[in-house]
Structure 1
């Protein structure tokens, strides 16, 4: 009866390569029962069972160093504890991959919107309420103090929220709408936060964009385009008997990820509005 298997026979049985068995030998995970004078590795028939355990654990994505520890502590208690630990790791990885997939879905939706945006269109529509975490007041975009505000703010936001795929936002006091260029007014940066994650942030840092009707449109971050946009927006409100009813919200749909030129940035401006007569009655 044959007592030993060659490395090729053992590899063929296990469905793995000779190179893998050599590596397992080198790291002392699975060693041959004997090595011949010619340097050939020979494995005992009963080593099948130990290799089966290694392949089982490897299939469960257990790291090789943990497999080595596992092989030295084979009993029900250790096996159960080890499998539970591995399940926890897998659950964490699943949660991570789900977050990544959701972010990718958001980015795909975002850039699909960008492919079809229209600088000439102004929309009047109902928007659901959304919550954001908000920065300190930013006076000038290119000022050193402003960059420090940005730095503190973005460092305070969890990466899964900061890189969720939803456009970064900005909030401008509604009074600035009637200034010559409300885009140059002091503002605050915003990052959208899902309702189930709001508890992670301080309440005073949370701001909600109210549900209601908004006039919105896309604008390119270029002075000529901004001036045209401002005039068109004001004309639209006047022609449709609408008045401003809150602060100005902006979303940065196209950023540095999609363009190297800062002037190619594309914002969506959302202005909460009410019918002029209804607003006058309220006042």
Structure 2
């Protein structure tokens, strides 16, 4: 003869939850055992399995215990559809958030792979870039960290951040004056930009070491441009390839410096 009632442990195994969860639902008045023995033990009917699966699905979708209790008090097909529609919207929103996280991770992978590929290349080189969309902002004082904090917060609030590191630029005048730490603008690569980095041939160098020492790489790159009779045609762009999260030592940071030439 088939056993009609299951102990709390047996029912928990079938539903893939622990007994503490079942006790919690019982005490919350959401899902109770069909029978409680004289010894105080909880017993469940196998037919309660499908009901519990619905409850479990609601909880996985983020429906609160209070919402479930309210629904159970006056449940009917229409209310069931209402709660399902509501949770469908929550799932759609969660999927958007997960897709955004996925995109940021993919960007980090792309950057780090470039860093590993370019790590040993410290000589100037030419590279053709396609047009890139950037969100860019002027920097009033390159030593004022508050400007960077405000920029990061703004990009996060407006969903501009796509996982790329913050880049910085030096204008042509600063390059000519060898003022290599006086940042002109900061930017993020995004699909919600206010500026387009031009397509074209760029003279590049991969600076290895702290940001404060980029001057030596700038000088090397500018010498390369001059010796090959190129003309500077844009500000410089500084893109982090390997940073704090990728390497332990600041001396191993890798920053790509690129300047459009003609």
TM-score w.r.t. the length of structure 1 is 0.77
Question: Quick check: 1:131 aligned with 2:133?
Answer: yes
Q: 1:243 to 1:14 in 2, by over 3 A?
A: same
Offset of 1:225 from its aligned partner? 6.1
Contact kept in structure 2, 1:168 and 1:191, CA below 8 Å: yes
2:176 corresponds to 1:178? yes
Is the alpha carbon distance of 1:86 and 1:231 closer, same or farther for their aligned partners in structure 2, counting shifts above 3 Å?
same
Structure 1: distance between partners of 2:252 and 2:3: 74
Decide whether aligned partners of structure 1 residues 262 and 135 sit closer, same or farther in structure 2, where only a CA change above 3 A counts: farther
Question: Structure 1: how far apart are the matches of 2:166 and 2:219?
Answer: 25
SS in 2 for 1:155: helix
Post-superposition offset of 1:14: 4.6
Alpha-carbon contact 1:244-1:273 (below 8 Å) kept: yes
The aligned counterpart of 1:59 is 57
SS of equivalent residue, structure 1 residue 56? helix
Equivalent position SS for 2:186: strand
TM-score norm. by structure 2 comes to: 0.82
Q: CA RMSD in A?
A: 3.1
CA distance in 2, matches of 1:2, 1:264: 68
SS of structure 2 residue aligned to 1:185: coil
Return 5+ residue gaps in structure 1 as ranges: 199-205, 275-283
Deviation at 1:133, TM superposition (A): 2.3
* Contact 1:125 1:213 (8 Å CA) reproduced: yes
**Pick from 142, 148, 151: which aligns with 2:149?**
151
Matched ranges for 1:69-218 at <5 A: 69-117=70-118, 118-141=120-143, 146-158=144-156, 160-162=159-161, 164-179=162-177, 181-194=178-191, 197-198=192-193, 206-218=194-206
Q: Could you tell me which residue of structure 1 aligns to residue 29 of structure 2?
A: 28
> Is the contact between residue 132 and residue 196 of structure 2 (CA under 8 Å) also seen in structure 1?
yes
| DSSP-derived class of the 1:184 partner | coil
Write 1 or 2 for the structure with the bigger share of helix. 1
Offset of residue 224 of structure 1: 10
Alignment of 1:213-252 (within 5 A): 213-222=201-210, 226-252=214-240
Is the CA contact (8 Å cut-off) linking 1:110 and 1:165 kept in structure 2? Answer: no
Question: Given that residues 136 and 149 in structure 1 are in contact (C-alpha distance below 8 angstroms), is that contact kept between their aligned partners in structure 2?
Answer: no
Alpha-carbon distance in structure 1 between the residues aligned to 2:176 and 2:234:
13
Rounded to whole Å, the distance in 2 between the matches of 1:36 and 1:231 is 85
Q: State the number of aligned residues.
A: 256
**1:64-97 CA distance string (max 9 Å, x none):** 5133333223222111111111111111111211
Q: Secondary structure at the match of 2:93?
A: helix
Distance 1:241 1:58, change over 3 A: same
Whether 1:5 and 2:36 are equivalent positions in the alignment is no
- Cα separation, partners in 2 of 1:241 and 1:68, compared to 1, 3 Å: same
Contact 1:253/1:267 (CA < 8 Å) preserved in 2? yes
Q: Identify if the C-alpha distance between structure 1 residues 96 and 17 changes in structure 2 by more than 3 Å, giving closer, same or farther.
A: closer
